[in-house]
């Protein structure tokens, strides 16, 4: 992919982040940068470790509860199992996470139908993470560290006593460095949302 195309993709994603009113669009942009350096809004990535650990052993009954279209034969159980183990869009939202946040389309590939769709569902998940992290007492820069870690490792990471060194160096630090480079200030997510 050429630099000009990457620049255009990034500008498009930043514009959409502003439209969906992310509470900290710079932090979302930094996660996009870490997850999908080309900012490709139609990006899809299979996560084999997640598939083996969580999706492969999931019962058909549990899959049907997550996606009722499996029962109607609109989406096969095996397709759902694989798609829940894929991440979608510029923030690479995991399909299973989208289902847990209420995404009900028959196929998770609908997440990349538009950049807007992928980022709205990413925002819903980020809002959940922020709420959990704030109830655990995380504030300021530590809040952002934990949110980056949870985006990469799942919400269970909010309960870990420390950040594993490999996750810190390979994911959390690069996200926060990019966040600061593009003008992030560790403040927006520390404020309670306004209604």
* Structural domains of the chain ordered from first start: 3-47+83-190 (1.10.530.10)
pLDDT in tens, 115-126: 999 999 999 999
CA-to-CA distance for 123 and 112, rounded, in angstroms?
14
Q: Cα 7 from chain centroid? A: 21
Residue 193 has pLDDT above 80, yes or no: no
Which pLDDT value is given to residue 63? 92
pLDDT in tens, 1-43: 899 999 999 999 999 999 988 889 999 999 999 999 999 999 9
The position carrying tokens 């959940």 is: 128
The answer to whether 154 touches 101, Cβ cutoff 8 Å, is: no
Q: pLDDT tier at 71 (50, 70, 90 boundaries)? A: confident
Long-range contacts of 46-52 (CB under 8 A, 24+ apart): 46/82, 46/85, 46/86, 47/85, 47/86, 47/87, 47/94, 48/85, 50/85, 50/94, 50/96, 51/81, 51/82, 51/85
């Amino acid at each position: 992919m050429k630099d000009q195309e990457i620049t255009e993709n990034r500008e498009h994603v930043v514009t959409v982040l502003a439209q969906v009113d992310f509470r900290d669009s710079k932090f979302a942009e930094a996660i996009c940068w870490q997850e999908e350096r080309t900012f490709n809004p139609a990006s899809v990535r299979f996560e084999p470790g997640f598939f083996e650990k969580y999706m492969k052993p999931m019962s058909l009954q549990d899959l049907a509860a997550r996606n009722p279209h499996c029962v109607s034969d609109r989406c096969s159980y095996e397709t759902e199992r694989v798609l829940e183990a894929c991440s979608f869009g510029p923030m690479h939202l995991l399909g299973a996470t989208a289902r847990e946040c209420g995404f009900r389309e028959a196929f998770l590939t609908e997440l990349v139908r538009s950049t807007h769709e992928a980022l709205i569902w990413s925002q819903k998940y980020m809002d959940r993470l922020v709420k959990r992290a704030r109830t655990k007492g995380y504030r300021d820069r530590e809040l952002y560290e934990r949110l980056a870690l949870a985006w990469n490792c799942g919400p269970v990471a909010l309960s870990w006593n420390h950040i594993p060194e490999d996750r810190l160096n390979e994911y959390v630090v690069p996200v926060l460095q990019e966040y600061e480079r593009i003008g992030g200030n560790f403040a927006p997510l520390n404020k309670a949302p306004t209604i």
